[in-house]
């Protein structure tokens, strides 16, 4: 016979007030003491060396503080939980140290770009060109307006070429699944590892030196398209794989052809991901300098014809000014770097917003 348990109102009220027990989360006084000592002792030693030694501060933090903190954490782990937790302590401290080091480097770079680039930013700097100035001209004259126009032309041309090709490549790999899929995927993966200078050399040797094209925005756009294509294709491929197979089979069951299913069902379902792939492809190439040095050169004038003359872009503008021996030219380079960083930040923000919108739906 099975016993029946009857709960009265008082017992139910008492049970409802009980809190779940987590004995694994309890911290004894010994544990707290050991952890505090493991934190304070390395910090005290490094603080004394910070004030009373001439060791460079980055060397002090990386070569002395991090090893001391690892040793202290290992001893604390052994004292509290035994030798088996020593490796965990090393991994945790190393991961936290690597994260902090990366954040410090990133913040330092961003701080340098913002503080130095803000010295150059003005309405004239953003909209004027350098046609009538030299590198030694004061900062109040000239700007990067021609480089912004050149960047828009070059990136626009590369996007018009690479985005459709990348999307069609992804559709062929995921939807058509022909016999050449392994070879296409292999070439896409191989292209993703091609150095940017190789793309510029390819356009230079095959189209410019043969006389088929001038060094211009179109030639630079072709070089950028080579670099953008694998990013767009691989991202679009992953996005298409996320489309549920039920949508495909349901459309096929209703009598639609394979091509109509792809165009009317699969691609619209992955539209937001396709836009994300295009933005990531643009962000991949917008800061590349090496292809532009070979295919676009530079031009202090504002060039609107993408086929006629050499043209400047933000990367070449930075490259040209940062090597000048004049302080104002270097500040112009910092201003262009800040402008380029803001442009890339806008692209990645758009990517995150579109991705979040897609997840929300």
pLDDT one digit per residue (tens) for the chain, 361 residues: 455 666 666 666 666 676 665 555 566 777 788 888 888 998 899 899 888 888 888 888 888 888 999 999 988 888 888 888 888 888 888 898 889 888 988 899 899 999 999 998 888 888 888 888 888 888 888 889 999 999 999 999 999 999 999 999 999 999 888 888 899 999 998 888 889 999 999 999 999 999 888 999 999 999 999 999 999 999 999 999 988 888 888 888 888 888 888 888 888 888 888 888 888 899 889 989 999 999 998 888 899 999 988 999 999 999 999 888 898 899 999 999 999 988 888 877 877 776 665 545 5
Largest CA distance in the chain: 102
Using CA atoms in the order 124, 126, 128, 133, what is the torsion angle rounded to 10 degrees? 80
Of the CA atoms within 13 Å of residue 87, those in its CB half-sphere come to 1
Q: What is the DSSP string of 253-300?
A: HTT--HHHHIIIIIHHHTHHHHHHHHHHHHHHHTT--HHHHHHT---S
Residue indicated by tokens 């292999």: 186
Q: Can you give the pLDDT at residue 50?
A: 87
Neighbours of 133 (CB within 10 A): 17
CATH class held by domain 145-360: mainly alpha
- The pLDDT score that the predictor gives to residue 101 is 87
Specify whether the CB–CB gap between 166 and 281 falls below 8 A: yes
CB under 8 A, 24+ apart: contacts of 76-81: 76/34, 76/35, 76/37, 76/38, 79/34, 80/30, 80/31, 80/34, 80/35
Q: Residues 6 or more apart from 108 whose CB is under 8 A from it? A: none
- The confidence score (pLDDT) of residue 8 equals 65
- Measured distance CA(286)–CA(281) in Å, rounded: 9
pLDDT, residue 171, reads 92
DSSP label of 134:
-
Phi, psi of 284 (to 5 degrees): -65, -35
Predicted pLDDT at 140 = 81
Distance between CA atoms of residues 256 and 308, nearest Å:
47
Q: What pLDDT, on a 0 to 100 scale, did the predictor assign at position 178?
A: 82
How far is C-alpha 96 from the chain's CA centre? 21
Q: So where are the chain's domains?
A: 27-117, 145-360
Angle at 85 between CA 83 and CA 91, to 5 degrees: 130
How long is the chain? 361
Residue 37's pLDDT is what? 87
Note the helical H segments in the chain: 9-17, 29-52, 57-59, 66-81, 86-117, 123-127, 145-171, 181-192, 196-203, 217-241, 245-253, 258-261, 267-269, 271-285, 290-295, 314-322, 327-360
pLDDT at 12: 66
């Amino acid at each position: 016979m099975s016993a029946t348990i009857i709960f009265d109102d008082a017992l139910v009220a008492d049970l409802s007030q009980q809190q779940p027990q987590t004995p694994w989360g309890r911290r004894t006084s010994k544990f707290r003491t050991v952890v505090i000592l493991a934190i304070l002792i390395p910090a005290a030693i490094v603080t004394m060396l910070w004030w009373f030694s001439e060791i460079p501060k980055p060397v002090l933090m990386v070569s002395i503080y991090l090893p001391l903190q690892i040793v202290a954490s290992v001893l604390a782990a052994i004292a509290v939980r035994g030798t088996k937790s020593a490796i965990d302590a090393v991994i945790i401290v190393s991961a936290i140290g690597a994260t902090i080091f990366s954040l410090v480097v990133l913040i330092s770079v961003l701080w340098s770009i913002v503080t130095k680039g803000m010295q150059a930013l003005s309405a004239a700097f953003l909209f004027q060109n350098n046609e009538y100035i030299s590198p030694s001209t004061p900062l109040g004259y000239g700007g990067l307006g021609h480089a912004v126009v050149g960047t828009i032309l070059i990136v626009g041309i590369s996007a018009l070429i690479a985005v459709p090709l990348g999307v069609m490549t992804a559709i062929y790999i995921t939807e058509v699944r022909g016999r050449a899929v392994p070879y296409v995927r292999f070439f896409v993966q191989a292209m993703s590892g091609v150095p940017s200078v190789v793309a510029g050399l390819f356009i230079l040797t095959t189209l410019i030196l043969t006389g088929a094209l001038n060094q211009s925005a179109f030639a630079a756009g072709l070089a950028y398209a080579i670099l953008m294509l694998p990013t767009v294709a691989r991202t679009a491929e992953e996005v298409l794989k996320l489309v549920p197979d039920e949508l495909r089979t349901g459309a096929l069951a209703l009598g639609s052809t394979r091509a109509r299913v792809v165009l009317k069902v699969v691609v619209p379902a992955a539209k937001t991901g396709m836009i994300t792939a295009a933005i990531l492809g643009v962000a991949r190439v917008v800061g590349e300098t090496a292809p532009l040095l070979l295919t676009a050169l530079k031009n202090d004038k504002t060039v609107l014809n993408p086929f006629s003359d050499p043209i400047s872009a933000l990367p070449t503008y930075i490259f040209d000014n940062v090597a000048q021996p004049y302080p104002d030219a270097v500040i112009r380079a910092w201003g262009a770097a800040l402008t380029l960083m803001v442009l890339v930040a806008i692209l990645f923000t758009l990517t995150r917003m579109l991705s979040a919108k897609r997840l929300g739906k």
